[in-house]
Amino acid sequence: MARSSATRLLSSIRSKTNTIVLLIDGGAIPPCAGGRRGMSTAARAKEDKEAWWKESLERMRNIGISAHIDSGKTTLTERVLFYTGRIHEIHEVRGRDGVGAKMDSMDLEREKGITIQSAATYCTWNGYQINIIDTPGHVDFTIEVERALRVLDGAILVLCSVGGVQSQSITVDRQMRRYEVPRLAFINKLDRMGADPWKVLNQARSKLRHHSAAVQIPIGLEEDFQGLVDLVQLKAYYFHGANGENVVAFDIPSNLEASAVEKRRELIEVVSEVDDQLAEIFLNDEPISPRDLKMAIRRTTIARKFVPVYMGSAFKNKGVQPLLDGVLDYLPCPTEVENHALDQNNSEERVLLSGTPAGPLVALAFKLEEGRFGQLTYLRIYEGVIKKGEYIVNINTGKKIKVPRLVRMHSNEMEDIQEAHAGQIVAVFGVDCASGDTFTDGSVRYTMTSMNVPEPVMSLAVSPVSKDSGGQFSKALNRFTKEDPTFRVGLDAESGQTIISGMGELHLDIYVERIRREYKVDAKVGKPRVNFRETVTQRAEFDYLHKKQSGGQGQYGRVCGYVEPLPIGSATKFEFENMIIGQAIPSNFIPAIEKGFKEASNSGSLCFTCCRFQ
């Protein structure tokens, strides 16, 4: 058949049916061998399952909320849970209403009004699942921030509009850089006296070296704070209702139009500096649509080249819903973040994980907690699927463990689930492990890189008031050291004191209080005793005569010798040399004499570093 005839035949067939026919030298081959119709049932099921996984992962966000103490992290999380329907009432952080914030489940947290332990939860917003970890702001609990950021894909850095960039803000931002976490900034408390978001934005640029710009401007400040202008969509948003749950969009107020145009241009310029696609549109003076700007912000935020700045007042219920939209629009899903494991079978070679449920199971235990039903282990699943009742392998110990119970956490509440896949944060009961252990299904020997653990900076001596409570006291210390890598316990061999070490005074005070409340053990706390050290600086001779008459034969002895310092850099701290000639003193007494000198050098009023006895 001529090719022209084949072409006419193909056109005729296309006009009558949707079936595509391939013509090769006049022969027709039906397409079902290469299309979906020709797939086996198993192949089609696999493709459908992968499509579901892909969509599920694209609609997932793992974020943390971090900031300096008292910047409003827990208040912000409380509003997020309320607007997403996870809780039905808003409560105060300090628990004055007798309930307290959902994420502060410990009594100590509600009494002191601070977050002590990071808490995990999850919620749904506009069809997306958001896993949230609320972290402490106090520097004493910095390990909670470290291990949360180690497993998260994105973060919200909360800044106070009055306090600005504070000391812990710098520390938290450094931790985000260490773990390469993309982030949004949220300038909170615009309703407070002295609020100045533009001052805070400039501080973020100078102190934190953020390449950032505002994506919103406030409508009023302090007691006149009413709403926000979205610079991407060029709309004004107001928050109506008893708890600000109704977001109403209006045109930009006339008095803010010039400011909105100026700030939007600034936003475009800042993003264009780090995004070539937007820069090309901007330099060609072409109109920039909201979609173009949104996509550019997303690309640069995920690449950690840009930090979008949101504004609002969590306490006054303003600005939280647009921030949630920003989490969906600009922070990455699990498959958009690169995670690497170390292959223990191949000299710890770095392996890029796919981040999908299709691969072998790889999960990291990043947090331990002693719960009502035993040890609760928080897992971030990087690849594969974990199921209740199946066996997993702890690569660090080599132990094979059955998963007895699998749950999703909502602060201190648990929801039992049958399985979890890559990208999720879950918890398991009854799995004996340490913080930082890696679990797989046994088909691979991968380990995840460990998190940074700072060294303790402060120590206290503790002991139980009652000797009968020593067992509970030891149990409490063992539990806390397992949960918190920055909490160390040791026994001073010289003083016999139990020494606890941590990140600060508040850190240790909290643990002493927890020992009293959770284990009913009163503990005495004091400063560790320090043994004073002395040494010999020059040679000194001694000649001591011992005479004691207590009836009977009595005691008599004479000791002569000298002490002198050892050479600088000597490998030993003590040398004993026997220079006695003959059997003036029986040889079986010499070891006891040497032992006495050693004891005196450690605990006596004088420290003997070297003694030559004659």
Q: How is 536-560 classified by DSSP, letter by letter?
A: --S-EEEEEEEEE-SSTT-EEEEEE
Query: Token pair for residue 455?
Result: 């060294």
> Closest Cα partner for 48 from 36, 34, 35, 32?
36
Instruction: Please check if 68 is assigned to a binding site.
Output: yes
> Closest Cα partner for 124 from 324, 346, 304?
324
How far is the C-alpha of 374 from the C-alpha of 393, rounded, in Å?
19
Residues 6+ apart with CB under 8 A from 193: 162, 222, 223
Instruction: Please check if 340 is assigned to a binding site.
Output: no
Instruction: Please check if 138 is assigned to a binding site.
Output: yes
**CA 148 remoteness from chain centre:** 2
Instruction: Please check if 71 is assigned to a binding site.
Output: yes
Which residues are registered as beta bridge partners of 27?
24
Instruction: Please check if 188 is assigned to a binding site.
Output: yes
Instruction: Please check if 345 is assigned to a binding site.
Output: no
Instruction: Please check if 224 is assigned to a binding site.
Output: no
**Mapping DSSP to helix (H, G, I), strand (E, B) and coil, where does residue 454 land?**
coil
Instruction: Please check if 604 is assigned to a binding site.
Output: no
Instruction: Please check if 189 is assigned to a binding site.
Output: yes
Residues 6+ apart with CB under 8 A from 227: 218, 219, 220, 236, 237, 238, 239, 318
How far is the C-alpha of 448 from the C-alpha of 541, rounded, in Å?
62
Other CB atoms within a 10 A radius of the CB of residue 368 amount to 24
Instruction: Please check if 191 is assigned to a binding site.
Output: yes
Instruction: Please check if 161 is assigned to a binding site.
Output: no
Handedness of CA 455, 461, 462, 468 (dihedral sign): positive
Q: What is the 3-state secondary structure (H, E, C) of 246-271?
A: EEEEECCCHHHHHHHHHHHHHHHHHH
Helix (H) or strand (E) holding 170: helix 167-178
Instruction: Please check if 255 is assigned to a binding site.
Output: no
Handedness of CA 379, 385, 389, 390 (dihedral sign): negative
Q: What is the 3-state secondary structure (H, E, C) of 455-516?
A: CCCEEEEEEECCHHHHHHHHHHHHHHHHHCCCCEEEECCCCCCEEEEECCHHHHHHHHHHHH
Instruction: Please check if 484 is assigned to a binding site.
Output: no
Task: Assign residue 496 a region (left: φ > 0; alpha: ψ between -120 and 50; beta: otherwise).
Answer: left
Residue ranges at the known binding site for GTP: 67-74, 134-138, 188-191
Residue ranges at the known binding site: 67-74, 134-138, 188-191
